[in-house]
Amino acid sequence: MISFEMTQQQKQMKEFIHYFAQYEVRPISMLSDKLERVPDEWLDKVNKMGVTLSTSAIGKDASGSSQKEKHEEANQDPEVKRQVNRLSVIAAEEMGWGDPAVALSLPGPGLGGPPVQGSGTPEQKKRFLGIFGKDKPRWGAYALTEPEAGSDVSGLRTTARKVDGGYVLNGQKVFITNGGRASWVVAFATVDPSLGRAGHRAFVVEQGTPGFSVSRLAHKMGMRASETAELVFEDCFVPDENLLGGEEYYEQRANGPSGFRVAMATFDTTRPVVAAMATGIARAAYETTLDYVKKEYPKHGRSYQMACEQLALMEQNIEASRLLTWEAAWKGDIGQPNAKEAAMCKAYAGKTGLDVCAACLELMGPVGVDGNLVEKLYRDVKVYDIFEGTNQIQHLIVARRLYDQEGLRI
């Protein structure tokens, strides 16, 4: 049975990440939003500290010793291995509380990490994951979404034509986080559109590969400090050794793996992290508004009572979002299928973030939209209802799992 009591290690990690979010992230939050980028000197600083959203490194403790080294040692402990998803969502909530756009800008493999870790060969894992946390900030990226294939990724049109020694990719990807500066991108393409999902393959395309380019960087309403790129593949040659998992991984057989399954397995890991960040955003808006109501609202009267009722509902939904997220992470840690739980927490937390930020703006009135943190969070949180699969897609996933339990299909 899942325990909601944090271990000592989880508590310590949460305290450190919250401290980092409060004293390192929050001070550059509004400036980064205005600049539409995180300052390079700050990125250099955190790269040396070893802080990433995935908790593959957790910074430095008060003594100055590297927590990254300690984490690598602890990873040999089976008990710690069983906590990796839980640690990730705890860290993600604190970083979402600090600034979600800055959090997504932290150096590291990002969304490209899970497919490489989960499906890559030992050589690929060493080659592509071993470059992080070294002399300079580096990023990885995950390129699945296309102009005509967003929620329905089975319709992707980027092609991969087999040639001697590798594949030639042609196509376009959109809304790719850190895609412009990534050292490599996990890109999904089809070797045969007539095969549908079975034809999907995942490739690691490295920066500087001929035929691989960034067509533009997006200017957005929210999450402005986070880089979002459009990528183009034009007769882009990718060698066989960059086919994620190798040729044998994609042999056609009953229930065999495909690039589509690689993508879906990635979502089961990343959707709880997205849900945790949405929960952190909601918490940040709630706490800011709670302080405002305490200071500015008259302590008697209907307006104060209504504000308290709304704040109580916010706290209830934030807590529910957190517990749904922890359940999805816990199931992932113990090796149980968690697609339904990952979809549920992502859908619920995304809507909670939207509802809480909107309610906070109403309670704060003109103050809330006058360059206030809550106004920024309101712009930032909208995408949490969209990326990693829209809420409608999450509801479809949950419904399919429920119908499967009854022997039905939708």
DSSP state of 21: I
The gap from C-alpha 35 to its chain's centroid, in whole angstroms, comes to 22
| Spatial separation of the C-alpha atoms in residues 261 and 242, rounded to whole Å | 18
Tokens 């700050």 correspond to 42
Q: Is 220 exposed, middle or buried (0-12, 13-18, 19+ CB in 10 A)?
A: middle
Query: Which two structure tokens, joined as six digits, stand for 74?
Result: 């602890």
| Spatial separation of the C-alpha atoms in residues 134 and 400, rounded to whole Å | 43
Per-residue exposure over 330-355, b if at least 16 CB sit within 10 Å of its own CB, e if not: bbbbeeeebbbbbbbbbbbbbbbbbe
| Spatial separation of the C-alpha atoms in residues 157 and 135, rounded to whole Å | 37
DSSP state of 229: E
Per-residue exposure over 126-148, b if at least 16 CB sit within 10 Å of its own CB, e if not: ebbbeebbeeebbbbbbbbbbee
Is 72 part of the annotated catalytic residue set? no
Query: Which two structure tokens, joined as six digits, stand for 98?
Result: 């600090």
Tokens 């490295």 correspond to 206
3-state secondary structure of 58: strand
Q: How many CB atoms lie within 10 A of CB 28?
A: 18
Given the residues 94, 230, 375, 388, the one annotated as active site: 388
| Spatial separation of the C-alpha atoms in residues 18 and 189, rounded to whole Å | 39
| Spatial separation of the C-alpha atoms in residues 283 and 289, rounded to whole Å | 10
Q: Which residues are known catalytic residues?
A: 388
